[in-house]
Amino acid sequence: MDNIVIYISIAMLMATLLAGLIRFVKGPSVVDRVVAFDSMTVTSLVMIGVIAFLSNRAIYLDVAVVYGFLSFLGVVIVAKYIQGGL
């Protein structure tokens, strides 16, 4: 029963990634694309956490933390660039 819930959540996360990808491609402005990229990153971080749980490997959580930090840094840099600070 637990695995069914996890697999359903993975399917929902994949649908969320697809919706973010569509917004990233069709976004009318740069800000929409940045927000879509950030939401796709957060969704992929959750997917890494689910995969770490399924495979019983804690090293994936370390990868998720580093990936989250780099994503946050990237979004901040792009936001500064859009604002005109770079």
SS (H, E, C) the chain: CHHHHHHHHHHHHHHHHHHHHHHHHHCCCHHHHHHHHHHHHHHHHHHHHHHHHHHCCCHHHHHHHHHHHHHHHHHHHHHHHHHCCC
pLDDT digits (tens, 9 = 90+) for 4-52: 888 899 999 999 999 999 999 998 988 899 899 999 999 999 999 999 9
Per-chain mean pLDDT for the chain:
90
Give domain limits for the chain. Answer: 2-83
pTM attached to this predicted model: 0.84
